[in-house]
Amino acid sequence: MNEQKPRPVGPDKQKILHERAGALARAPVQEKADEATLELVEFQLAAERYGIESVFVREVYPLKQLTLVPCTPPFVRGLINVRGQIVTVVDLKRFFDLPQQGLSDLNRVLILNAPGMALGLLADAIIGVRQVPAAGLQPTLSTLTDARASYLRGITADRLVVLDAARLLADPKIVVQEEVEN
Amino acid sequence: MKLRVTVAIKLAASFGLCAVLFIGLAAVGYRTTSTSLEQAGWVDHTHQVLTDLAKLLSSLQDAETGQRGYIITGLEDFLEPYKAGLAQEDVHRKELVKLTADNPNQQRRLEALEPLIKERLALLLQGIELRRTNDFAAAQKFVTSGTSRKEMDETRKLITAMKDEEEVLLKKRDAEAAQSAITTYWTLGLLALGGSLFTVIIGVLLWRNIAVPLQGLTGVAERIALGDLTASVATEERHDEVGVLTQNFQRMTQWLQSMAVVAGKVSGGDLRVQVTPQSERDVLGNAFAEMVANLRRLTTEITESVNVLGSSASEISTSTSQLAASATETATAVSETTTTVEEVRQTAQVASQKARFVADSAQKASQISQSGKKATEESAAGMNRIKQQMDSIAESMVRLSEQTQAISDIIASVDDIAQQSNLLAVNAAIEAAKAGEQGKGFAVVAQEVKSLADQSKQATAHVRTILSDIQKATSAAVMATEQGAKAVETGVRQSSQAGESILALANSVTEASQAAIQIAAPAQQQLTGADQVAKARESIKQGSGQNFAGAKQMETATHNLNELGQRLKQLVQRYKV
């Protein structure tokens, strides 16, 4: 990279630093008694926001060098190499048989951890980590289809669909075992 | 059959008689002349004898002289006469003998003379011999002895006798000659007279017989030659040529009179006469017959021609009047074209002026187009410069675009960094969440990292917007440049087109100028042509006027012709065919 000019130390930066300092100095007052909060990793997938418990999320990885694998179900989009570990990438849209197929904006992979299994979920964008009160979860809406209904934990007030990662990971459908006849 | 005594016979007889007369006269004359000659010859003979005798004597004397001389001198030179005398003596003596052969007397004498002479000569010789021996005295003595004298005298006597006889003869012969001469004169005179009388008589007879009738005929012929055919010849019953001539003259006169009668009839207009020639060789008769026949034919033809002439004259007359009418029409038509011709002339003039004007304008336009061409070329050069500038601008734009691309790449990497930072922050948050209570501090750090990532992202987004603005501006500039380049190209093309158009314009202007010049010339010619047409029109007018006058004249001429035809007809009618 070329030598870049240092950013000008203007009043904006001062303001930001000041805000940071204030934020750091503030005690965590915002802690409520409701301990039942979920740490969700919020991500966007095909114009819908989904959330998944961060317990199950090992990390978030950008989608690079997706290796296609033949003779796999359509929801299995391929494999990626995460620091030496091969992770299967699954497209939830195809898994749930949603419309709007296509790798339009999918460039993030949520690597889910499960005992003896690592799975990657394609996402358009990672919005962030959020805590939502567990009580705010509402049961599934009737508008959702059956395919997804089984994997949902609920929907938050701002229409965040919370996925049940455990069930997803335990689904036998995920396991692909096919043999190619010679 | 009666003997036709022709003039030839008469003439022959007359001349024959005359000839006989002449011959007789000539014979008589010849005879007398020969007689005279003979007598003259005898006279001459006698003279010759005398001469010879004298010569003989002289020769003897010469001999003697010579002898004497020699004797005297003793020189041989003086013997010359002697020698000569000797020779001549012999000659003369012989001659005498010959001459006197008819006269016996003389012959006797000559015979007697001969010895005498011989002796004489011998004596002479003797004397010479004596002298030769240089004996002068003896010789002298000899001479004086006179022996030779006797012979000499005898000789002389003889000779004299001979001479006398000869002289007598001479006289006799002279008398005879005179007598015969007189006889001749008388004879000849009488004969001549008689002959001439005879000739005269015959001549007169002939004249009367031949010349007088001929004179008459001559007179008649003269009158006939003058044309007077009333002369006639009195016919006689003569059978000679003159009579025949007279008869023929009579016939000829009659024939001529008949011809004259025929001619008179023909002159009177009666062509019905018939002429019969006397023979094939009758030139006049044949000619007359032919003439009458021709005249008849001619008259018939003339009659026909006169008829034709009459009809033709009437036709000509009608045509002439038509011609006069058409001439008047032509004249009116010509005057009608006056205005038209004048207009044409003016039009031609205007056209000529306009053509000249156009030529001048074309010249100016040509010059202007030349300057326009130069301006176009300059503008094309300017356009090319602009194009080059545009090209350089485009290159700068390209470089700018490349650098913008580089910036974009950098921004992309910065963005990538921001995303990764974001991910990192998320991961950190996740780990912090997993860590629970202990991870709260870490969560704050994660939060800061996330905010940093967000700022980076914002900055990146900002830069990206700016960059996209720049890119848009650049692409707009590039587009503008391209459009400018295209516009320049278009401008160049248009300016070159304009240049070509101007060139074409210049060419067409030049052509127009030349065409205008070419128009100007013919326009001028047209003008002169129009003038000429006007003049021609004038001359046509004159010509038509003359035509009219000519037609009038022709009319009168036709009228005259008609009258002439009528007169001819009348004339021809006088001749009866």
Residues A111-132 pLDDT 10s: 888 777 788 888 888 888 888 8
User: For residue A173, is pLDDT > 80?
Assistant: no
The CA-to-CA distance between both ends of chain A, in Å, stands at: 51
User: Tokens 């938050």 sit at which residue?
Assistant: A156
Output DSSP code: residue B234: -
Mean per-residue pLDDT, B469-476: 80
Do A92 and A121 meet the contact criterion of CB atoms below 8 Å apart? yes
d(CA B47, CA B39): 12
Q: Which chain A residues are within 8 Å of B422, Cβ to Cβ? A: 126
Asked if CATH classification 1.10.10.10 holds for the domain at A37-170, the reply, yes or no, is: no
Q: Is B430 part of the contact surface with chain A (CB cutoff 8 Å)?
A: yes
Q: What angle do CA B371, B374, B380 make, to 5 degrees?
A: 145
Which residue of B430, B449, B455, B457 is the best one to mutate when testing the A interface, meaning the one whose CB has the most A CBs within 10 A?
B430
The closest of A140, A100, A141 to A124, measured between CA atoms, is A100
User: Tokens 């000739």 sit at which residue?
Assistant: B199
**pLDDT tens track for B5-48:** 777 888 888 889 889 988 988 898 888 888 888 888 888 888 88
Q: Is A60 part of the contact surface with chain B (CB cutoff 8 Å)?
A: yes
Listed by start position, the domains of chain A span 37-170
Handedness of CA A92, A95, A101, A103 (dihedral sign): positive
**pLDDT tens track for A69-108:** 888 888 888 899 988 888 889 888 777 776 665 556 668 8
Q: Is A65 part of the contact surface with chain B (CB cutoff 8 Å)?
A: no
Residue of B nearest to A61 (CA): B423
d(CA B515, CA B528): 20
Mean pLDDT, chain B, rounded, equals: 82
User: For residue B562, is pLDDT > 70?
Assistant: yes
B527 contacts: CB under 8 Å, gap ≥ 6: B345, B348, B349, B352
pLDDT > 70 fraction of chain B, expressed in percent and rounded = 98
Q: State residue B313's pLDDT score.
A: 81
Min Cα–Cα distance to chain A from B471, Å: 20
User: For residue B476, is pLDDT > 70?
Assistant: yes
Calculate helix-pair angle for B80-99, B104-132, nearest 10 degrees: 170
User: For residue A1, is pLDDT > 50?
Assistant: no
Q: Return the structure tokens found at A17.
A: 């630093």
Across the interface, of A23, A55, A126, the residue whose CB is closest to B426 is A126
Residue of A nearest to B448 (CA): A20
Output DSSP code: residue A71: S
Q: Do A126 and B422 touch (CB under 8 A)?
A: yes
Across the interface, of B419, B427, B459, the residue whose CB is closest to A59 is B427
Contacts 24+ apart (CB under 8 A), B1-10: B2/B239, B4/B239, B4/B240, B5/B239, B5/B240, B6/B239, B6/B240, B6/B241, B7/B209, B7/B210, B7/B240, B7/B241, B7/B242, B8/B241, B10/B206, B10/B209, B10/B210, B10/B240
Distances (CA, A) of A25 to A29, B87, B429, B443, B450: 11, 237, 19, 14, 18
Mean per-residue pLDDT, B196-213: 87
Q: Which chain A residues are within 8 Å of B419, Cβ to Cβ? A: 62
**pLDDT tens track for B507-527:** 877 787 777 777 777 777 777
Q: How many helices (H) and strands (E) does chain B have?
A: 9, 0
Q: State residue A6's pLDDT score.
A: 58
Do B414 and B455 meet the contact criterion of CB atoms below 8 Å apart? no
Strands laid side by side in the A161-163 sheet: A125-133, A37-45, A48-53, A161-163, A152-155
d(CA B109, CA B117): 12
Mean per-residue pLDDT, A16-42: 72
Do B174 and B46 meet the contact criterion of CB atoms below 8 Å apart? no
The closest of B283, B292, B286 to B263, measured between CA atoms, is B292
Min Cα–Cα distance to chain A from B464, Å: 16
Q: Do A54 and B429 touch (CB under 8 A)?
A: yes
Determine which helix (DSSP H) or strand (DSSP E) holds B250, and give its type and residue range.
Answer: helix B241-268
Q: State residue B201's pLDDT score.
A: 92
Q: Which chain A residues are within 8 Å of B420, Cβ to Cβ? A: 62
User: For residue B149, is pLDDT > 80?
Assistant: no
Across the interface, of B413, B423, B455, the residue whose CB is closest to A60 is B423
d(CA A89, CA A63): 9
If DSSP states are collapsed to H, E and C, what string results for B462-525? HHHHHHHHHHHHHHHHHHHHHHHHHHHHHHHHHHHHHHHHHHHHHHHHHHHHHHHHHHHHHHHH
d(CA A24, CA A26): 5
**pLDDT tens track for B303-342:** 888 888 888 888 887 887 788 788 778 778 877 777 787 8
Query: Who has greater pLDDT, A36 or B293?
Result: B293
Q: Which chain B residues are within 8 Å of A20, Cβ to Cβ? A: 448, 451
Mean per-residue pLDDT, B256-281: 84
User: Tokens 């997804």 sit at which residue?
Assistant: A148
Do B88 and B53 meet the contact criterion of CB atoms below 8 Å apart? no
The closest of B566, B21, B4, B552 to B310, measured between CA atoms, is B566
If DSSP states are collapsed to H, E and C, what string results for B86-147? HHHHHHHHHHHHHHHHHCHHHHHHHHHHHHHHHHHHHHHHHHHHHHHCCCHHHHHHHHHHCH
Q: Return the structure tokens found at B12.
A: 């022959």
Min Cα–Cα distance to chain A from B479, Å: 29
Distances (CA, A) of B372 to B90, B499, B501: 162, 8, 10
User: For residue B197, is pLDDT > 90?
Assistant: yes
Q: What is the pTM of this model?
A: 0.36
The closest of B180, B174, B125, B178 to B148, measured between CA atoms, is B125
Mean per-residue pLDDT, B471-499: 77
Q: Return the structure tokens found at A165.
A: 């990662």
Mean per-residue pLDDT, B349-362: 82
Mean per-residue pLDDT, B565-571: 84
Mean per-residue pLDDT, A13-36: 72
d(CA B186, CA B197): 17
Q: Is A128 part of the contact surface with chain B (CB cutoff 8 Å)?
A: yes
Residue of B nearest to A128 (CA): B426
Q: Is A56 part of the contact surface with chain B (CB cutoff 8 Å)?
A: no
Do B526 and B348 meet the contact criterion of CB atoms below 8 Å apart? yes
Give the residues across from A123 on adjacent strands. A108
Do B506 and B373 meet the contact criterion of CB atoms below 8 Å apart? yes
Distances (CA, A) of B437 to A66, B22, B56, B426, B445: 36, 229, 246, 17, 14
> Which residue intervals of B269-282 are DSSP H helices?
none
**pLDDT tens track for B408-462:** 888 888 888 887 888 888 888 888 878 878 878 888 888 888 888 888 888 888 8
d(CA A87, CA A75): 14
Across the interface, of A23, A28, A60, the residue whose CB is closest to B427 is A60
Q: Do B430 and A129 touch (CB under 8 A)?
A: yes
Q: State residue B204's pLDDT score.
A: 92
Q: Which chain B residues are within 8 Å of A24, Cβ to Cβ? A: 444
Min Cα–Cα distance to chain B from A92, Å: 20
Does residue A71 come out as left (phi exceeding 0), alpha (psi in the -120 to 50 range) or beta?
left
d(CA B61, CA B85): 8
Judged by CB atoms within 8 Å, which residues 18-37 of A form the interface with B?
A: 20, 23-24, 28
Q: State residue B1's pLDDT score.
A: 42
Q: Do A54 and B433 touch (CB under 8 A)?
A: yes
